[in-house]
Structure formats: C-alpha cells, structure tokens
Amino acid sequence: MSTYNPVTPAIAEELKTIVGEKNVIFNDQEHLFPFSHDEIPGTRYRTMPEAVVFPESAEEVSKIIRLANRELIPLTPRGAGSGLSGGAVPIYGGIVIASSRMNRILEFDAENLMITVEPGVIANDINEHIKESGLFYAGYPMSMESCFIGGNIGENAGGGKAVKYGVTSRYVLGLEVVLPNGDIVEVGGKLLKDVTGYNMVPLFSGSEGTLGFVTKIILKLIPRPKEQVDLLCLFEKPEQAVQAVPEILTKSGVLPTSLEYMDKVAVQKACEYLHEELPYEKCGAMLIVTLDGDDMEELIAEYERVGKFCEECGATEIYVADNKVNSERIWKIRRAVPEAFSLASPLQSGEDVVVPPNAIAKVAAQCKIIAEKYGVFIPCYGHAGDGNLHARVTPPKSWSEEKWYATLPEILKELYAAVKKEGGRISGEHGIGHKRKKYMECVVSKEYLNMLRTLKRAFDPNNIMNPGKIFDLE
Ligand SMILES: Cc1cc2nc3c(=O)[nH]c(=O)nc-3n(C[C@H](O)[C@H](O)[C@H](O)COP(=O)(O)OP(=O)(O)OC[C@H]3O[C@@H](n4cnc5c(N)ncnc54)[C@H](O)[C@@H]3O)c2cc1C
C-alpha cells in the first residue's frame, strides 16, 4: 500500500496561495464532511478529506498536482458527487480537487456542431444553453440535472438515451487534462477523425479520475429531433417485460431512443416517493419505450409496431404519451427510482451489471433465484435496451448490519458469476470506484488487470491521482 503524507497547516497555506484563501477548506470538519461521500446509500463508503480545494483554471490544478507529487499527498477529483461507486470519495484522505468553480461554457461552435465546456458545468445546462439552436448534446444520465460533465467523463456515464445515441464517450472529441505529474495536455480536438498517435480521448472516459484531472471538454452536438413519443407498457410478469426487450430491438425494425425497465417494486417506491400514481398494482413490471424523430406520422407508425410486439410479449396495457406533460410524468417516475430506493434503507447494494441485451432476461431470472436462495430482496430496474440492469440487493428488516455485510459478498459473487457467464461485466455506467474493486477478478482476467496497472503506473508513478480506485496497485 502506498504511504502518503498528511496535509499540514503549511501545505494548506500553499494551497491558499495557489487558489486563494476562500477556496480552500482545511481544519473544518463541518464543511469537509460533504466531500466525504457520494450518493452510495449508508455510511460504509465514507472517508473524510483533509483539505478541499476549488481551483478555477488548468494552471491552478497543475500547481496543486505538482505540490501533491512533491509532498506525496493523495488527490481525489470531484464533480457533483452524484456517483454511485465511491469514485469521488477520498479513501486515503488527502486533498479533494473540486471542479465546481470551473463551470463555464467556453464556446458554442454552431458551424462545427461542437461545444467547449469546463468540467464543472451541470450536464443539463449544456442543452439549456443551446436549446434555441436546433442542436443537442445526447449524453443523458438520469442525474442530468445535478451531475457535472467532468464527472460524466470520469464514469463514461450512460443513461436514458444510450440505446440510440450511445454513452458519453461517443460525444467527447477533445479534452484538456492535467496529468498526475502536473503537465497540461490537449488530447483530441475539434476533429471528427484523428490518427495522430494513440487514440487517447476514449482512455480518459471512464478512467474515474485515476489518470488526470480533466479541465476542458470539447463535445460533439447533433440535430435535435423535433418529436418524441413515450410508451408506458404494463406487463403481468417481469419475465415478459424483459423478454420483450430483445424482441423489440431485433424484430420491430425500430431503434428506440430509450428502452427502460422497472419492476413493480421500483415503480411503487418511486410513486410513493413522489406521491404519484401509476397503475402498478395491476402489473409485475413496466417498460418505457421512447421514440424520437422529425416526422410524427412516421413515429406513430413506429410506436404502433413496437406496441404490437409488446402485446405479443404479454403487455396488458399500453399508454401513449405524445405531449411533454405526460412524457415528463412518466420520466419523472423513472428518474426518481434510484433516489426512492436509496432512502428506503441504509443497508442495500445498488448493482449496475451489464450483459449483451439478449441476455438480460437470464440475468433478471438469476436475480430472482439468488434472492430466494439468500432470503433477500433484489428489485430491478434499468436501461434494459443497453443490457444494463440496476439490481438493488436489500436485506429483510430483521437482518443485522453484521449479517448483511457478511452475506453480501457471497450474493454478489453469485450475481457476477451469472453475469460473466453471459459475457457481461460488473458495471455498465456507475463505475468500479472502491465499492466494486475487489470484485474485478470475478469478470476480468489477471492479465487484463495487470495491463490496467501498468498503464496507471506509467501515468502516475507516485500513485497520487485517486489511489485505490478501480483496482489496488499492489
Ligand atoms: C439519482 C441518480 C441517478 C443516476 N443516473 C445515472 C444514469 O442514468 N447513468 C449514469 O451513468 N449514472 C447515473 N448516476 C450516477 C452519477 O450521476 C454518474 O456517475 C455521474 O457521471 C457522476 O457525475 P458527478 O459530477 O456527480 O461525478 P462525481 O461523483 O463527483 O465523480 C465521479 C468520478 O469522476 C471523477 N471525476 C470527477 N470530475 C473529474 C474531473 N474533472 N477530471 C477527472 N475525473 C473527474 C471522480 O474522481 C470520480 O471517480 C446517477 C446517480 C444518481 C444519484
């Protein structure tokens, strides 16, 4: 294990010289506390930082990183802290570098269909900024209204539109990154193709702040579709709903924008949380199928085709939302599911498994078998069209904390073995952080892990950038 040095009052003074006195938190437990956790429920994955700094430029970030290298102090990049794997948690203490002051939209380049932003811009604000232009940024995590674009790159965020539009990395054309030695580098640029050396841009997407601190981002924009229709399809049994997913994808001839799954418990929890009503009593699971395009008549023909497939798979009722109010009502419920679950119990494990889309029914079935075997609950929801299932493993109320943490690893190993069998992985979008790192070997080879470690050592020989995330070096 790496040995690090503490942040002394003298180091805190140096940090203040770099970013200004009011942009450093030190020796102030109350104000350091919000930076000790992300959105993982419960207290198990929390660690206090020794200092938090709020730089405003790449030059300031570079000076902080050089200082940390000189003094061997761990650094943890942080966006909005909405992560679900502990990526932004400073597990060795040290300094958190928060990006919230780096929140400017630097340039909207309509001629090239690109936008350049700083990492602390809230993801949704990008689309707000360009909404009159007829263009949009198609990355779309459910936490869009709170998470930062830098954090989206850290986790290569997916979300509700990935079936059609793909995940964050598809839209990242260029980055400015401060490397773990303090060098400021530009990777990629305003280019749609570039083979001038290694293709480095995608490497940073999903690197969870372990390879550098992103200070500038060039994103690709695309024309915004004019029309959208959402179908809410009710199925009697969860198996029917998940089975409908590959059917729609392979046989309807339609590529949906979103294909989201929520079992009955997920819908119920979200409705209770929002004081909303959906007819969840009548069904075992629901699918939200979103279609978008420019021609309403075409969309109507498409949703009728999709609806027919859903009915053939056992949908008992299908509601059509073809205006913003109804559409928002459905999506608000879907977006509330994670929050509603998180509030329900401090003892739970939010899983993020991903398999090829045609294997999702098998994994959902396996969740049921595992839940029965261990006497726990595993309600599921997620981006079914991407093969990405969020399984919330939750113990019965009678379980002690001790029993829960003793049993959870067994449950997870069984779940991950089922996922591996289908060619899947343990995280589709939330990342590994420190929550899942000990399970990496359940799905990837030792050789693969060694390759990641070699890369990390080459970038960060002192192991100061977000150490202990994704994997341990030793
Ligand atoms: C209600 C809810 C819904 C969610 N829905 C989705 C969803 O649909 N899809 C999805 O993918 N995720 C989802 N998430 C998870 C989370 O919002 C995403 O992982 C998001 O990308 C994290 O962004 P953030 O700004 O909060 O990053 P943080 O949590 O602060 O950090 C995430 C990681 O990025 C690194 N990082 C942050 N900024 C930088 C930077 N400037 N340079 C380098 N590394 C950096 C951090 O070190 C950390 O490893 C959801 C979370 C919640 C609470």
State the CATH number of the domain containing residue 187.
Answer: 3.30.465.10
At residue 2, the pLDDT reads 67
Distances (CA, A) of 127 to 113, 224, 415: 13, 10, 37
At residue 121, the pLDDT reads 98
Work out the number of other CB atoms within 10 angstroms of the CB of residue 33: 13
Residues 83 and 349: their CA atoms lie apart, in Å, by 14
Residue 460 lies in a domain: no
| CA-123 nearest atom, ligand 1 | 25
Residue 457 lies in a domain: no
The pLDDT of 88-108, averaged and rounded, is: 98
Q: Is 466 in the pocket of ligand 1 (CB under 6 A)?
A: yes
| CA-336 nearest atom, ligand 1 | 1
Q: Whose CA is nearest to atom 44 of ligand 1?
A: 209
Residue 402 and residue 415 share a domain: yes
> In terms of residue numbers, what domain contains 320?
225-344
Ligand 1 geometric centre to CA of 154 (Å): 7
pLDDT of 167 higher than 90: yes
Burial (CB < 10 A; 0-12, 13-18, 19+), residue 28, is exposed
At residue 412, the pLDDT reads 97
Give the list of residues 6+ apart from residue 79 with CB closer than 8 angstroms, or none.
88, 99, 119, 120, 147, 148, 149, 150, 151, 152, 154
Q: Give pLDDT tens digits for 344-399.
A: 888 999 999 999 999 999 999 999 999 999 999 999 999 999 999 999 999 999 99
The pLDDT of 231-244, averaged and rounded, is: 94
The pLDDT of 252-277, averaged and rounded, is: 94
Q: Whose CA is nearest to atom 19 of ligand 1?
A: 83
Residue 471 lies in a domain: no
Give the list of residues 6+ apart from residue 222 with CB closer than 8 angstroms, or none.
113, 135, 136, 138, 165
pLDDT of 268 higher than 90: yes
Residue 113 and residue 91 share a domain: no
Residue 118 and residue 209 share a domain: yes
Residues 462 and 457: their CA atoms lie apart, in Å, by 8
Residue with the larger pLDDT of the pair 414 and 1: 414
Q: Is 148 in the pocket of ligand 1 (CB under 6 A)?
A: yes
Residue 245 and residue 234 share a domain: yes
Burial (CB < 10 A; 0-12, 13-18, 19+), residue 405, is middle
CATH code of 265's domain: 3.30.70.2190
Residues 93 and 216: their CA atoms lie apart, in Å, by 26
Give the list of residues 6+ apart from residue 127 with CB closer than 8 angstroms, or none.
136, 137
In the 8-state DSSP scheme, what is residue 173? Answer: E
Query: Which of 84, 124, 178, 342 to mutate to test ligand 1, by most ligand atoms within 8 A of the CB atom?
Result: 84
Ligand 1 geometric centre to CA of 375 (Å): 32
Residues 316 and 240: their CA atoms lie apart, in Å, by 10
Ligand 1 geometric centre to CA of 429 (Å): 9
This prediction has a pTM of 0.96
Tell me which of 100, 120, 149 is where a domain ends: 100
Residues 420 and 40: their CA atoms lie apart, in Å, by 24
Residues 464 and 460: their CA atoms lie apart, in Å, by 7
Ligand 1 geometric centre to CA of 335 (Å): 15
Kindly give the pairing relationship between strand 172-178 and strand 213-220. antiparallel
| CA-212 nearest atom, ligand 1 | 43
Residue 22 lies in a domain: yes
Residue 325 and residue 235 share a domain: yes
Give the list of residues 6+ apart from residue 24 with CB closer than 8 angstroms, or none.
12, 15, 16, 51, 52, 53, 54
Nearest one of 315, 305, 162 to 243, comparing CA atoms: 315
Give the pLDDT band (50/70/90) at residue 279: confident
Residue 376 and residue 324 share a domain: no
Q: What percent of the chain has pLDDT over 90?
A: 94
Q: Is 120 in the pocket of ligand 1 (CB under 6 A)?
A: no
Q: Tell the residue number behind the tokens 């023909």, with chain if given.
A: 301
At residue 322, the pLDDT reads 84
Work out the number of other CB atoms within 10 angstroms of the CB of residue 111: 5
Residue with the larger pLDDT of the pair 345 and 138: 138
At residue 14, the pLDDT reads 98
Residues 322 and 329: their CA atoms lie apart, in Å, by 12
Q: Whose CA is nearest to atom 23 of ligand 1?
A: 151
| CA-428 nearest atom, ligand 1 | 11
Give the list of residues 6+ apart from residue 34 with CB closer than 8 angstroms, or none.
81
Residue 113 and residue 216 share a domain: yes
User: How many folded domains does the chain comprise?
Assistant: 4
Give the pLDDT band (50/70/90) at residue 96: very high
At residue 277, the pLDDT reads 83
Work out the number of other CB atoms within 10 angstroms of the CB of residue 275: 6
| CA-215 nearest atom, ligand 1 | 41
Nearest one of 41, 48, 61 to 89, comparing CA atoms: 48
Residue 163 and residue 80 share a domain: no
Q: Give pLDDT tens digits for 302-338.
A: 999 999 999 999 999 999 998 889 999 999 999 999 9
For residue 79 the two structure tokens come to: 């966006």
Nearest one of 100, 24, 430, 1 to 10, comparing CA atoms: 24
Mean pLDDT score of the chain, rounded to an integer?
95
At residue 1, the pLDDT reads 52
Residue 391 and residue 311 share a domain: no
Q: Is 470 in the pocket of ligand 1 (CB under 6 A)?
A: no
Residue 185 lies in a domain: yes
At residue 345, the pLDDT reads 85
Residue 416 lies in a domain: yes
Residue 450 lies in a domain: no
Tell me which of 344, 365, 386 is where a domain ends: 344
At residue 48, the pLDDT reads 98
Q: Give pLDDT tens digits for 395-429.
A: 999 999 999 999 999 999 999 999 999 999 999 99
Ligand 1 geometric centre to CA of 237 (Å): 33
Residue 181 lies in a domain: yes
| CA-167 nearest atom, ligand 1 | 11
Tell me which of 204, 223, 242 is where a domain ends: 223
